Amino acid sequence: GNSVTQMEGPVTLSEEAFLTINCTYTATGYPSLFWYVQYPGEGLQLLLKATKADDKGSNKGFEATYRKETTSFHLEKGSVQVSDSAVYFCALSDRGSSYKLIFGSGTRLLVRP
Amino acid sequence: KAGVTQTPRYLIKTRGQQVTLSCSPISGHRSVSWYQQTPGQGLQFLFEYFSETQRNKGNFPGRFSGRQFSNSRSEMNVSTLELGDSALYLCASSYGQGELSGNTIYFGEGSWLTVV
């Protein structure tokens, strides 16, 4: 079945460091891919998405490119801030059912001043 | 406009009891889905409703059920609670039939359920 694999955390960085969180997926067909962020005590917020191969999603300085050849959707940011500390989830939409999202296990990011 | 609203935000129940959680989607949204989030299993899909019809169901026992009303509000019920049901239950809504239709899915802040 479809699945998403994320790098385990926590990822600890100093402010202004470069961030990469790896995400790979297994899916039949051509799913849409997403990154969601969860701040402490809150629900999920959509960070960015890409709906087809080679699409680049971007938002708030974060970027991710849909790589079909490597089945990857790695999240990157050039300069992280303390306020970026959160848990990041990679997800895909299961085209077998129009609304179901399949999530990775989440990666906690800690940014130190 | 108001986001997805879930009530109650926090609750504590005893094993064997049942619980009902409520979700009010964003105005105009007709699709509602539910997810369970636990440290061990992560985020898992429970079920999805569109225009009062359950369109999809995850791999959960029959103790977990839900429904959607004509105003798109949704409830989920868990009967005969077990300790392992302690989790954050997230509701999400979308205007159309989720991401396939190009409509973004918006999540609520969740209901924290503790079973003791």
Asked if the bond preceding A10 is cis, omega within 30° of 0, the reply is yes
Q: Report, as an integer, the average pLDDT of A88-109.
A: 84
Q: Are A32 and B78 in contact (CB under 8 A)?
A: no
Query: pLDDT tens digits for chain B (116 residues)?
Result: 579 999 999 999 999 999 999 999 999 999 999 999 998 889 999 999 998 999 889 999 999 999 999 999 999 999 999 999 999 999 999 887 655 555 678 899 999 999 99
Q: Are A57 and A64 in contact (CB under 8 A)?
A: yes
Asked if the bond preceding B8 is cis, omega within 30° of 0, the reply is yes
**Pairwise CB contact (< 8 Å): A100 & B50:** no
CA distance B98 to A34: 13
pLDDT digits (tens, 9 = 90+) for B68-82: 999 999 999 999 999
Which percentage of chain A shows pLDDT scores above 90?
Answer: 77
Chain B residues lying within 8 Å of A49, measured CB to CB: 99, 104
Give the best residue of A32, A45, A49, A98 to mutate against chain B (max B CB count within 10 A).
A98
Q: Is the pLDDT of residue A97 over 70?
A: no
Chain A residues lying within 8 Å of B107, measured CB to CB: 36, 43-45
Q: Which two tokens stand for residue B57?
A: 């169901």
Selecting from B42, B56, B97 the residue whose C-beta is nearest the C-beta of A103 gives: B42
DSSP secondary structure of B5-20: EEE-SEEEE-TT--EE
Q: Is the pLDDT of residue A99 over 60?
A: yes
pLDDT reported for residue B105: 84
Chain B residues lying within 8 Å of A97, measured CB to CB: 48, 55-56
Dihedral in degrees, nearest 10, Cα atoms B38, B40, B41, B47: -20
Sign of CA dihedral A35, A40, B110, A8: positive
With cut-offs at 50, 70 and 90, classify the pLDDT of residue A2.
confident
Selecting from A34, A95, A100 the residue whose C-beta is nearest the C-beta of B48 gives: A100
pLDDT reported for residue A86: 97
**Nearest chain B CA: its distance from A106 CA (Å):** 8
Chain B residues lying within 8 Å of A46, measured CB to CB: 104-106
**Pairwise CB contact (< 8 Å): B48 & A46:** no
pLDDT reported for residue B101: 54
Which range has highest mean pLDDT (A34-48, A72-86, B43-57)? A72-86
Q: Which two tokens stand for residue A20?
A: 């990469």
Chain A residues lying within 8 Å of B100, measured CB to CB: 32, 93, 95, 98-99
Measured CA angle at B89 (ends B83, B92), to 5 deg: 165
